[in-house]
């Protein structure tokens, strides 16, 4: 059965998945890069995202690799695609250059219609204006029986969690306190929504937590 999965989503000890004041120059917000220090050195990031041949192995890389296994489509919030608010900048084609690291269809939640964008390597960006359920339905249909990965950001993940649509959530809790930004847990009662922590494994740079929907 297809699943909607959140994988390798980094949060601070105090629950922030992005720092404050996100912008073109600071896409992760002030201090946001600190959340991903477990991920940047891994083989998965170095090879899949940067196109290099090196990278670290171990616990962090194992979780990073799992995040790409059996994924047939992604869902992203608009801020994960573009720093621009309001009407879209039609010249903007994402943060990743001509060959994004996805290689599958991507469904981007937005309030503004835009034609789909075909990129190199099999990635196509589709823009969804009629809500999270429509995006999920289209993503499942496009995934050829594989799972769909929910990439973020915080607001998008919160919407799907509140609707009890996320089947599995992998959080990488980084040993960082941000103090402000976008808090994943704000007014979110995961227990009442039917979620349970089933696994936790520590590395030198993160605590990897697996949460699943049990009801």
What is the domain class of 4-16+33-87+99-213 according to CATH?
Answer: alpha beta
Name 104's Cβ contacts closer than 8 Å, sequence gap at least 6: 71, 72, 73, 74, 122, 123, 142, 143
Given a cut of 90, whether residue 7 has pLDDT beyond it is yes
Domain boundary assignment for the chain? 4-16+33-87+99-213
Q: Do residues 4 and 76 lie in contact, with contact meaning Cβ atoms separated by under 8 Å?
A: no
pTM: 0.94
Q: Do residues 78 and 87 lie in contact, with contact meaning Cβ atoms separated by under 8 Å?
A: no
Joined tokens for residue 35:
């959340």
Name 204's Cβ contacts closer than 8 Å, sequence gap at least 6: none
Q: What are phi and psi of 75, to 5 degrees?
A: -125, 130
Query: Using the 8-state DSSP alphabet, how is residue 130 labeled?
Result: S
For residue 126, what pLDDT band results from cuts at 50, 70 and 90? very high
Q: Do residues 5 and 160 lie in contact, with contact meaning Cβ atoms separated by under 8 Å?
A: no
Q: What are phi and psi of 111, to 5 degrees?
A: -100, -5
pLDDT of 61 reads 97
pLDDT tens profile 133-166: 999 999 999 999 999 999 999 999 999 999 999 9
* Average pLDDT across the chain, whole number: 94
pLDDT tens profile 72-105: 999 999 989 988 777 677 788 888 889 999 999 9
For residue 206, what pLDDT band results from cuts at 50, 70 and 90? very high
């Amino acid at each position: 059965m297809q699943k909607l999965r959140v994988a390798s989503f980094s949060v601070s000890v105090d629950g922030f998945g992005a720092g404050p004041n996100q912008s073109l120059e600071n896409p992760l917000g002030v201090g946001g890069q600190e959340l991903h220090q477990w991920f940047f050195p891994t083989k998965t990031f170095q090879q899949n995202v940067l196109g290099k041949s090196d990278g670290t192995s171990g616990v962090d890389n194992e979780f990073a690799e799992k995040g790409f296994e059996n994924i047939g489509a992604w869902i992203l919030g608009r801020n994960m695609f573009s720093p621009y608010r309001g009407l879209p900048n039609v010249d903007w084609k994402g943060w990743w250059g001509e060959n994004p690291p996805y290689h599958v269809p991507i469904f981007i939640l937005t309030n503004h219609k835009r034609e789909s964008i075909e990129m190199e390597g099999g990635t196509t960006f589709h823009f969804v204006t009629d809500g999270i359920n429509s995006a999920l339905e289209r993503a499942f249909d496009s995934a050829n029986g594989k799972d769909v990965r929910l990439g973020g950001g915080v607001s998008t993940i919160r919407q799907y969690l509140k609707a009890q649509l996320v089947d599995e959530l992998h959080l990488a809790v980084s040993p960082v306190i941000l103090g402000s930004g976008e808090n994943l847990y704000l007014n979110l009662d995961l227990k009442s929504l039917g979620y349970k922590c089933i696994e936790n494994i520590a590395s030198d740079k993160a605590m990897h937590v697996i949460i699943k929907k049990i009801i």
